Chain A
Amino acid sequence: MKKIGLIVNPIAGMGGSVGLKGTDGEIYKKAIELGAKPTTPERIEQTLALVNRKELYFIVAPGKMGEDFIKKFDFNYEVVSKIDEETNADDTKRVIRKMMEKGIELLIFVGGDGTAKDVYDVLGLTIPVVGIPSGVKMFSPVFALSSFAAAEIINNESNQVIEKEVLDIDEDAFREGKLGAKLYGYLKVPKNLSLLQSKKEPSNVSKPEKISKEEIAEYILENIEKDTLYILGPGTTLKTIADKMGVKKTLLGIDAVFNEELVGKDLNEKGLLDLIKKYNKIKIILTPIGGNGFILGRASKQFTPEVLKLIGKENVIVVATEDKISRLECLRVDTGNAKIDNNLKGHLKVITGYKTETIIEVK
């Protein structure tokens, strides 16, 4: 029996119908006052109705966080932990910790970007997840496309996993019509192909993500220039490069390396400006956010126009796995400075493996 965790954020998505653009913090009470109805029951029931694997053993959250839904179906399950009438992010995290103690190998969660953040806080890159979208904000690429797609992923779970971004959307700004997002973390998701496979040949025989990242790192390392400050943006690909260099990089921060030594950690704009002034030759290495393709202006706000002015387009190196870049229509920049954005636009070479590159348009 494979142990699978199931947790539902019962209030995710409630803000949407009443125009509140999210239920983070105390906003969900306002949503209830405005007559919002929960959207999660429908989503999770749609998925569970389509799950046809018999060897699954569910470890579920109590009541409206999971138990109420699973009991309508014919699955083996047990309930962990307890919750009050009102639930919040702490409940989500506590229940997932309990599930981990029970040995779950996969977690199904229902919610939006806020829920994904809570899941990341507990799981990090330990076990894979299937995210069923039910929030108001679902900008994180970590989510399945729909509750039906989530069922497909569960039914045809593959051994291969890929890392997808969890984005932190500024809900207050979002309500004002602005989309401010930063990279919050990564979750592992099963790499499943759709059921609409070609019968002609087995498709997608691309390299596992981990190997692609190592190949990128090897290539970067081979071509590294001496006496040059390398500023590494956030992300697991950049972390792999740093690991290969033998330096300890933060996963989500911006760090700097000079002649294989870490000279700046988790840098902010000021830290970057101070460092840039000290060195003559500077290069930055970035990776796009999966799904939307932003290389600047989303995951790495610390690269402000002031910082970028001092670096120059010719010193920007972009890396991404083949799988990630193939799924992007283009790369995007949104630094907040139109002149800098325009300068970065046009075609750019992205390193996708050892001596492998993709030329893609930056828009």
Chain B
Amino acid sequence: MTINLHINENPYSPAKSIQKAAIKGLEKANRYSEPKDVIELKELLGKYNNVSINRIVLSHGSDLLLREIINIFSKDRKIIMVNPSFFSVSQYALKQALRLTRIQISTPDFKLDPYLLLNELNEPTLLIIDNPNNPTGKILIDGGTAEKILQNKNVLLVVDEAYYEFSGQTFASMIEEYPNLAITRTMDKAFSLAGLRLGYLLMGDYFKEHFSDFPIYLSTPTLFAAIETLKKPENMTANVDKILNEKIRVEKELLKTEIQVFPGKANFILIKTNIPDFGKKLNDKEVIICNLSDEWIDGYYRISIGLREENDILLSIIKKMCKNA
């Protein structure tokens, strides 16, 4: 059976109670979803994030929110993003932006120089940062830098925190204070709901004006599953703990080989290797990882953390490859 380690999915299926909730939603599939369920989900997300519900926008995946932000706010602003970044969003920015500056982060540590960034904020700007970054897993800005950015009223800061539950770092507590801050989140990753696509936005006052009429197209199975998930967040935290422990184990094992490992704060590992056809050789054994040469630099791969037995298969193939290289 194919082992999918290429798109940062959660290897653990949703708990039985969540599956049951989604099926219950399916039983009502002949009807449109009901506003009361939307409100219940927002209330649970508000509680989870300690944010009032009028600051939350729901969406079918966070990509759509980021695209909408680019559509609305890039007309009279320069967009600044880092490269590499969440590829589908950065490609969209490239297509839509009237002015775009990308800041390349590079080896050895893929750090974003805060002074370099702050120096670029000298005109109306939409700054989009994934924190932690995908595919490096690095935290690119800390709270101090975020505050400095947000004190500049000319700048709208949008932070994609898709991997917040793994990194533990969020700027959600700054939403009340800073009108120019927005945060995108997803229940695809830590909450094991990738197939249902539930993203949401936490937004400061400036964004609220523009998102008041954002349509909500969520299906009832999605709403029911998300509500059930948030009622028992301990399932999620237990899975996140297991994934992070596995990540440490996989990193340690990879470090024993000649492969270069870049530790990060998400549920994936960035590696670099000169072994020819590394990705293809794994693919031939039905282990699929993300080959970043399509979008970025040859030799870099992103590996999502799977179940322990899946990671064992991955490691044994890699070790054999390294031996034969």
Interface residues of A (CB under 8 A from B): 145-146, 148-149, 152, 193-201, 203-207, 322, 325-330, 347, 349, 352-353, 355-361
Please judge, given known A-B contacts A146-B276, A195-B283, A198-B7, whether A204 and B99 are in contact too, CB under 8 Å: no
Asked if B283 contacts A196 (CB within 8 A), the reply is yes
CA gap between A223 and B6 in the complex, in Å: 43
CB contacts (< 8 Å) of A326 on chain B: these are 83-84, 295-296
Asked if B294 contacts A206 (CB within 8 A), the reply is no
Additional pairs, 5, CB under 8 Å, beyond known A358-B102, A359-B101? A145-B276, A148-B276, A203-B294, A329-B297, A347-B116
Interface residues of B (CB under 8 A from A): 6-7, 63, 83-84, 87-88, 91, 94-95, 97-104, 106-107, 113, 116, 120, 276-277, 279-280, 283, 288-291, 293-298
Shortest distance from the beta carbon of B225 to any chain A beta carbon, whole Å: 19
Q: Which of B83, B97, B280 contacts A195 (CB 8 A)?
A: B280
Asked if A327 contacts B297 (CB within 8 A), the reply is yes
CB contacts (< 8 Å) of A328 on chain B: these are 104, 297
Shortest distance from the beta carbon of A189 to any chain B beta carbon, whole Å: 14
CB contacts (< 8 Å) of B97 on chain A: these are 356
CA gap between A148 and B88 in the complex, in Å: 28
The DSSP consensus for interface residues of chain B is mixed
CA gap between A356 and B81 in the complex, in Å: 11
CB contacts (< 8 Å) of B116 on chain A: these are 347, 359
Tally of A-B residue pairs with Cβ under 8 A? 104
Asked if A194 contacts B102 (CB within 8 A), the reply is no
Asked if A329 contacts B106 (CB within 8 A), the reply is yes
Query: In chain A, what residue has the closest Cβ to B284?
Result: A148
Asked if A194 contacts B297 (CB within 8 A), the reply is no
Query: In chain B, what residue has the closest Cβ to A347?
Result: B116
Shortest distance from the beta carbon of A352 to any chain B beta carbon, whole Å: 8
The DSSP consensus for interface residues of chain A is loop
CA gap between A199 and B297 in the complex, in Å: 20
Asked if A361 contacts B294 (CB within 8 A), the reply is no
Asked if B87 contacts A203 (CB within 8 A), the reply is yes
Please judge, given known A-B contacts A325-B104, A327-B297, whether A205 and B83 are in contact too, CB under 8 Å: no
Asked if A206 contacts B91 (CB within 8 A), the reply is yes
Q: Which of A146, A194, A205, A349 contacts B291 (CB 8 A)?
A: A194
CB contacts (< 8 Å) of A329 on chain B: these are 106-107, 297
CA gap between A114 and B290 in the complex, in Å: 33
Query: In chain B, what residue has the closest Cβ to A148?
Result: B277
CA gap between A192 and B116 in the complex, in Å: 34
CB contacts (< 8 Å) of B120 on chain A: these are 359
CB contacts (< 8 Å) of A206 on chain B: these are 91, 94
Asked if B297 contacts A322 (CB within 8 A), the reply is no
Asked if B283 contacts A327 (CB within 8 A), the reply is no
Q: Which of B7, B102, B280 contacts A357 (CB 8 A)?
A: B102
CA gap between A355 and B297 in the complex, in Å: 24
CA gap between A329 and B110 in the complex, in Å: 10
Q: Which of A193, A199, A200, A359 contacts B102 (CB 8 A)?
A: A359
CB contacts (< 8 Å) of B291 on chain A: these are 194, 196
CB contacts (< 8 Å) of B295 on chain A: these are 203-204, 326
CA gap between A193 and B100 in the complex, in Å: 25
Shortest distance from the beta carbon of A239 to any chain B beta carbon, whole Å: 23
Q: Which of B98, B99, B283, B298 contacts A145 (CB 8 A)?
A: B298
CA gap between A357 and B120 in the complex, in Å: 12
CA gap between A6 and B78 in the complex, in Å: 48
CA gap between A329 and B298 in the complex, in Å: 10
Asked if B102 contacts A197 (CB within 8 A), the reply is no
Q: Which of B103, B279, B296 contacts A196 (CB 8 A)?
A: B279
* 29 sampled A-B residue pairs with Cβ under 8 A: A146-B276, A149-B276, A193-B294, A194-B279, A194-B293, A195-B280, A196-B283, A196-B289, A196-B290, A197-B294, A201-B63, A203-B294, A205-B95, A206-B94, A207-B95, A327-B293, A330-B104, A349-B101, A353-B94, A353-B100, A355-B98, A356-B100, A356-B102, A357-B102, A358-B83, A358-B103, A359-B104, A359-B120, A361-B104
CB contacts (< 8 Å) of A145 on chain B: these are 276-277, 293, 298
Query: In chain A, what residue has the closest Cβ to B275?
Result: A146
CA gap between A193 and B296 in the complex, in Å: 11
CB contacts (< 8 Å) of A349 on chain B: these are 101
CA gap between A147 and B13 in the complex, in Å: 39
Query: In chain B, what residue has the closest Cβ to A357?
Result: B101
Asked if A196 contacts B297 (CB within 8 A), the reply is no
CA gap between A329 and B87 in the complex, in Å: 17
CB contacts (< 8 Å) of B103 on chain A: these are 358-359
Query: In chain A, what residue has the closest Cβ to B276?
Result: A146
